[in-house]
Amino acid sequence: MADAPSESMEARAEDFRSRYNQLKSEISKVIVGHDEIVHGVLTCLFIGGHALLEGVPGLGKTLLVRTLADALSLDFNRIQFTPDLMPADIIGTNVVMETPDGRRSFEFQAGPIFSQIVLADEINRATPKTQSALLEAMQEHSVTVGGTIHRLKEPFFVMATQNPIEQEGTYPLPEAQLDRFLFKLVVGYSTRDELATILDRTTRGERPRAEKVMDGETLLRFQELVREVLVAPHVQDYAIRLALATHPRGPFAAAATDQYIRWGSSPRGVQTLVLAAKVRALLDGRYNVSFEDLRRVYLPSLRHRVLLNFEAQAEGIEPDEVLLKVLESVPEKAEAKAAVA
């Protein structure tokens, strides 16, 4: 049984819940509905990972990240991805500068990636070469230009958007870059009541705006707090088996895995599962992760980390359908033989 949390832990956890709800409340002043999407984005933010939002145009994806930037005292830049965008347009480049005494030297001019919140809008419109310029920044929080490493300011958060229906003039994100995103969040349509609220806010001259409620130092402190939440060995093993169950022909593979999945989740998938579950636990007032916490974050953590085979594509099966079958097949308690395997 886990030790009781210290008074300091209890106080910090309560502060986390209060500030989280305050931030979510500010966002709801502008964003109508999409509670799970907002929660997913905030989960990525408080873990220190990046989010990919997929949805048709006009659903508020760009507005969400702008509103998040308004509610945080962090630097914000937007990069509009287009086919002619070059890597130097994102990370920056060395330019020749002339000194007062007439000498010339190279000086680095930072690109828009040098911000704390970066909106990569319609990321799949840029070429793979340009998309890859984000890889080092997203993973290492630094960029290398001319052999010199330039560190990015912390906290650093990338939220990218992409349109799933337009294929002309787009370049699918490579698996290596998809894996850098903590969550892939699928933005759906608004309901009847939500559309009524949106019209009330946007057609009557109202200009709601989120107020700043958190700074970077506070956010970094909460990111450390999330990592202090405990995970019991048997719960951690459940998370591991959930990831291993996506590996076709593996010892833990589900029937749906062998039938529809070509490649399964990377180790980042199980890392994401555990970290995201820790956020869920804190928000529920607990200091240890439960099985249910893991199940609630399973889809956004892994839907972009499995590659379906031709049979699944031919039958029009989506990753979520396969993953739900995998989730149902993995028991909470491992069999003795499987646990040793």
pLDDT digits (tens, 9 = 90+) for 179-226: 889 999 988 888 888 888 878 877 877 777 888 888 889 999 999 999
Q: How many helices (H) and strands (E) does the chain have?
A: 17, 13
Tell me how far apart the alpha carbons of residues 157 and 279 are, in angstroms, rounded to a whole number. Answer: 17
Tell me how far apart the alpha carbons of residues 275 and 156 are, in angstroms, rounded to a whole number. Answer: 17
Q: Which residues have C-beta within 8 Å of that of residue 232, sequence separation ≥ 6?
A: 2, 288, 289
CATH 3.40.50.300 location in the chain: 1-227
Which residues does residue 117 pair with via DSSP β-bridges, in sequence order? 76, 157
CATH code at 229-341: 1.10.8.80
119: which DSSP letter? E
Tell me how far apart the alpha carbons of residues 284 and 89 are, in angstroms, rounded to a whole number. Answer: 43
pLDDT at 269: 93
pLDDT at 1: 45
pTM: 0.86
CATH for 1-227, options being 3.40.50.2020, 3.40.50.300, 3.40.50.2300, 2.170.150.20: 3.40.50.300
Tell me how far apart the alpha carbons of residues 201 and 208 are, in angstroms, rounded to a whole number. Answer: 8
Backbone angles phi, psi at 248, to 5 degrees: -60, 140
Tell me how far apart the alpha carbons of residues 71 and 209 are, in angstroms, rounded to a whole number. Answer: 9
CATH 1.10.8.80 location in the chain: 229-341
**Whether 29 contacts 209, CB under 8 Å:** yes
Helix, strand or coil for residue 19?
A: helix
Q: Evaluate the CA torsion angle 89, 92, 98, 104 in order and state its sign.
A: negative
pLDDT at 206: 72
pLDDT at 96: 75
pLDDT at 337: 47
Which ranges of the chain have pLDDT less than 70? 1-7, 102, 165-169, 336-341
* Interval 117-127: pLDDT, tens: 999 888 888 88
Q: Where do we find the tokens 């009781």?
A: 4
Among 277, 65, 113, smallest CA distance to 182 is for 277
